[in-house]
């Protein structure tokens, strides 16, 4: 679905304003001890709200300043060049997410999807080396072969592969990703993981998130990884609901990063 034609006009941008950098090869992440805060949302960061501030400033008001903002490359309110410039002017990095409802079984399907994502990312001016997270739903059975084809092809396109998924072993992602680590470690070790479980009940739907986050780094990890190797943990969902200027309810999800390299070198 195409992006909604935004009614905002304050941030008109020139394509040349979106600068590009080049990273020749994906790099295996290394963990650091400090935690960095971020958010993700299907709502545009420059969406004007009912209280006459934009979504990004609403997040800042209700949390510490985000180090990154996860945004979708697909859907009605998908990431645009205008929003990219808006976030960069705020000093905030962007974590691109791609959602697709297609079948995810074969290597060829993964390669085709990676090519599609590569073209879209280049059109948006996303720099080489940036991690693109493929959103895999709990009920999707994305196979090891699909993930292998996707990861290899996305690296050929110049980007770093990532997966945003429920890493609880009750769901298929754990099994298939861990199989990949056993049979194709050189490929799968380059993939960043964004764990969406477990969420911490006290943070779901929260309206008082000022300056608080979980004390312990406790995302679920696929069996072939350790918790320290998880790049991002989404620990709270649907926070701080408010209507925008069009009367639609907006929310955002809360995330932590324990991997400085994701922020410094992988997000743009």
pLDDT at 259: 60
End-to-end alpha-carbon separation of the chain, Å?
24
pLDDT at 211: 53
Q: Which residue has the tokens 């895999």?
A: 136
Share of the chain above pLDDT 90, in %: 69
Alpha-carbon distances, residue 208 vs 64, 114, 142 (angstroms): 12, 39, 36
Q: Which of 56, 109, 114, 110 is nearest to 87 (CA)?
A: 56
In this predicted structure, the answer to whether residue 159 has a pLDDT above a threshold of 60 is yes
In this predicted structure, the answer to whether residue 12 has a pLDDT above a threshold of 90 is no
Helices within the chain (DSSP H only): 55-62, 81-89, 107-124, 144-156, 172-183, 185-188, 260-261
What is the band of 51 on the pLDDT scale with cuts at 50, 70, 90? very high
Strand partners, 49: 244
pLDDT at 119: 96
Structure tokens at 169: 């072993």
pTM for this prediction? 0.85
């Amino acid at each position: 679905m195409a992006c909604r034609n935004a009614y905002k006009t304050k941030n008109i941008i020139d394509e040349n304003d979106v600068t590009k950098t080049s990273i020749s090869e994906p790099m295996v992440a290394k963990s650091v001890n400090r935690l960095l805060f971020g958010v993700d949302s299907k709502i545009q960061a420059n969406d004007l709200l009912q209280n006459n501030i934009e979504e990004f400033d609403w997040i800042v008001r209700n949390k510490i300043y985000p180090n990154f903002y996860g945004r979708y490359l697909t859907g009605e309110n998908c990431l645009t060049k205008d929003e990219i410039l808006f976030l960069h002017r705020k000093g905030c990095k962007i974590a691109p997410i791609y959602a697709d409802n297609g079948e995810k079984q074969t290597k060829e399907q993964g390669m085709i999807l990676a090519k599609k994502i590569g073209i879209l990312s280049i059109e948006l001016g996303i720099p080489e080396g940036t991690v693109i997270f493929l959103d895999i739903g709990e009920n999707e059975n994305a196979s090891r072969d699909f993930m292998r084809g996707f990861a290899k092809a996305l690296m050929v396109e110049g980007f770093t592969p990532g997966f945003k998924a429920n890493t609880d072993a009750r769901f298929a992602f754990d099994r298939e990703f861990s199989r990949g680590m056993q049979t194709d470690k050189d490929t799968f070790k380059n993939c960043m993981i964004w764990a969406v479980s477990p969420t911490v009940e006290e943070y779901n739907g929260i309206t008082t998130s000022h300056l608080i986050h979980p004390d312990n780094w406790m995302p679920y990890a696929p069996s072939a990884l350790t918790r320290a190797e998880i790049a991002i943990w989404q620990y709270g969902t649907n926070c701080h609901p408010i209507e925008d200027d069009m009367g639609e309810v907006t929310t955002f999800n809360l995330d932590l990063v324990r991997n400085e390299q994701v922020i410094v070198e992988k997000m743009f």
